[in-house]
Amino acid sequence: MSPPPPYLYKSPPTPSPSPLPPYIYKSPPSPSPSPPPPYLNKSPPPPSRSPPPPNIYKSPPPPSPSPPPPYVYKSPLPPSPSPRPPYYYISPPPPKHKKHPPYYYKSPPLPSSSPPPKYYYGSPPYHY
């Protein structure tokens, strides 16, 4: 019986520890303190004392009479009639059909030998 292949008896190679990435070993760069903006280092300039404006010592100029606005010369527009409330515009319901008052119907003419015609109240008489 032949011996098994040699690689079965070899132990797997131990993984060589890979070095950690270099940035882990480096300390983070210390932030260089940026100088504060220049205006923080300077004291604010003292407020300059300017003399008061000269017009304070002058009397205000008299107001020039302005011409009246042009719309004064226009005739006023006639007031537009205010619309009436909407319920005025609702048309009234159509009138219900009223029954006609009873009519007097003349009986049909009879032969001339008959008495004068009679008048009936209501609908015409039925003819049998």
Which percentage of the chain shows pLDDT scores above 90? 0
What is the reported pTM? 0.10
When the pLDDT of each residue in the chain is averaged and rounded to a whole number, the result is 63
pLDDT of residue 59 exceeding 70, the answer is no
Round to whole Å and give the CA distance between 26 and 96: 103
What is the mean pLDDT of the segment spanning 47-58?
Answer: 61
Helix ranges (H only) for 1-128 are 6-9, 22-25, 38-41
How many Cβ atoms are within 10 Å of 120's Cβ, its own excluded? 14
